[in-house]
Amino acid sequence: MRIIFILILMFMSINVSANSSQLIALGQQNKSLMLETVAAKQKHKFPALYVYDSQQQVFLSKPDAEAYLLTLNSQPLWPKLTAQWTKNTSQFTASNQLLAKALPMLKLDRAYLILYDNLPASMLKQLEPMDPELSQKDNLLKTVLGQLDSARSYTTY
């Protein structure tokens, strides 16, 4: 009986932990609003990764974002993915207040906010012949971002 109780408690704690770190889908409109708020004059390409430091209230530069992201996983595909998909944020201006005003749904309760401007599933399938690792990269990134305790992660789709 004790073992069953302990197993139930362990399962509940694992379940709570997994649910608290899930990726949150912003949707295309909210993603556009966010990017328009922080970098109105910059053209945005996707897939893209943007890392915002909610304590310093700045988007990390491409090299700093890559350095942070590289600490999150050790799979061989991870360095290639972070180098390709982390984008330049030199023209971004932001603050917690600005982001909260533009998108009240954003939670700035962790050290980092990560926006993964991902591709819709239909587009992933269409582009797969050009990059056979595309779906694998997308799945890996979603898995890693969905398990973070240090960051609140958002996707487009």
Q: What is the mean pLDDT of residues 136-145?
A: 90
Q: Which run of H or of E encompasses 3? A: helix 2-20
Residue 3 lies in a domain: no
pTM higher than 0.85:
no
Residue 69 lies in a domain: yes
**Longest alpha-carbon distance in the chain:** 63
Reduced to 3 states, what is the DSSP secondary structure of residue 33? helix
Residue 110 lies in a domain: yes
Residue 118 lies in a domain: yes
Question: Considering its fold, how many domains does the chain have in total?
Answer: 1
Residue 5 lies in a domain: no
Q: How far apart are CA 114 and CA 35, in angstroms?
A: 13
Residue 37, pLDDT above cutoff 90: no
pLDDT at 51: 95
Cα–Cα distance list, 13 to 7, 17, 75, 106, 109 (Å):
10, 6, 27, 25, 20
Residue 1, pLDDT above cutoff 70: no
